């Protein structure tokens, strides 16, 4: 690579880093003012994929939302029927890159919910009952979605309309969830099923009934070191 090309490459990357920082949506920016609310210390990465109906989107404090994320409420930018609080995201959440949260009635995400990348959550789908009408024109029934505080939604998981996920739930990567998931459970598969649950006084019990020991954090061999890197998805 020639010196000239190296300098161009360096300049492009420096400019892109500047754009990423300058384009972030944070409290006090004009873009943030358009949201229903955006809490202190929260940030939406740049560039976003789609931001629609932002006046109906409410984000708590200290929440980080990654790049190329879709946040939308309603059926269009000027949908007068969009609910006032169509998409609500709690405090201290992490929403991974390329995640899509599309609300038409209500999606509520509790505090301290972490999502991996490429997660898809929606409260409406398409119907298919009329064989003569294109499916894309058959709008399904709105069914609110709720994700409880402290839950972890793994990479590429799909949360379908009408789902209610309890508190401190692990949804394994690639799972498809529909229905009600109890508190303190691990679900996996398509459709997702409970494969482990926490029973007070007993511990984590698999669906087959055997007790699984609690996993301890990995220890860094260096003095005083900790590697808090035991991934839930790796243990499902």
Q: Give the active site residues.
A: 126
Where residue 77 falls (left for φ over 0; alpha for ψ -120 to 50; beta otherwise) is alpha
Q: How many helices (H) and strands (E) does the chain have?
A: 3, 25
Q: Are 81 and 102 in contact (CB under 8 A)?
A: no
DSSP 8-state code for residue 3:
H
Q: State residue 92 phi and psi, 5-degree precision.
A: 60, 30
Rounded distance between C-alpha atoms, residue 139 and residue 83, angstroms:
17
The token pair at 66 is 């990654």
Rounded distance between C-alpha atoms, residue 200 and residue 208, angstroms:
17
Q: Are 105 and 75 in contact (CB under 8 A)?
A: no
Dihedral of CA atoms 19, 24, 27, 33 in degrees, nearest 10, equals 90
């Amino acid at each position: 690579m020639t010196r000239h090309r190296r300098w161009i490459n360096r300049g492009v990357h420096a400019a892109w880093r500047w754009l990423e920082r300058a384009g972030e949506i944070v409290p006090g920016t004009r873009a943030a003012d358009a949201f229903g609310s955006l809490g202190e210390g929260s940030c939406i990465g740049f560039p976003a994929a789609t931001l629609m109906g932002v006046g109906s989107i409410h984000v708590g404090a200290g929440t980080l939302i990654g790049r190329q994320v879709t946040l939308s409420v309603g059926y269009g930018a000027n949908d007068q029927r969009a609910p006032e609080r169509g998409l609500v995201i709690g405090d201290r959440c992490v929403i991974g890159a390329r995640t899509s949260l599309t609300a038409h009635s209500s999606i509520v995400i509790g505090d301290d919910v972490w999502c991996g990348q490429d997660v898809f959550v929606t409260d409406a789908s398409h119907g298919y009952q009329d064989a003569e009408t294109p499916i894309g024109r058959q709008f399904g029934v709105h069914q609110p979605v709720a994700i409880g505080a402290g839950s972890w939604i793994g990479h590429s998981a799909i949360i379908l309309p009408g789902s209610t996920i309890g508190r401190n739930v692990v949804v394994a990567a690639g799972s498809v969830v529909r229905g009600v998931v109890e508190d303190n459970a691990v679900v996996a598969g398509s459709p997702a099923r409970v494969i482990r649950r926490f029973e007070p006084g007993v511990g984590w019990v698999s669906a087959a009934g055997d007790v699984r020991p609690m996993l301890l954090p990995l220890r860094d061999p260096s003095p005083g070191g900790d590697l808090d890197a035991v991934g839930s998805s790796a243990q499902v």
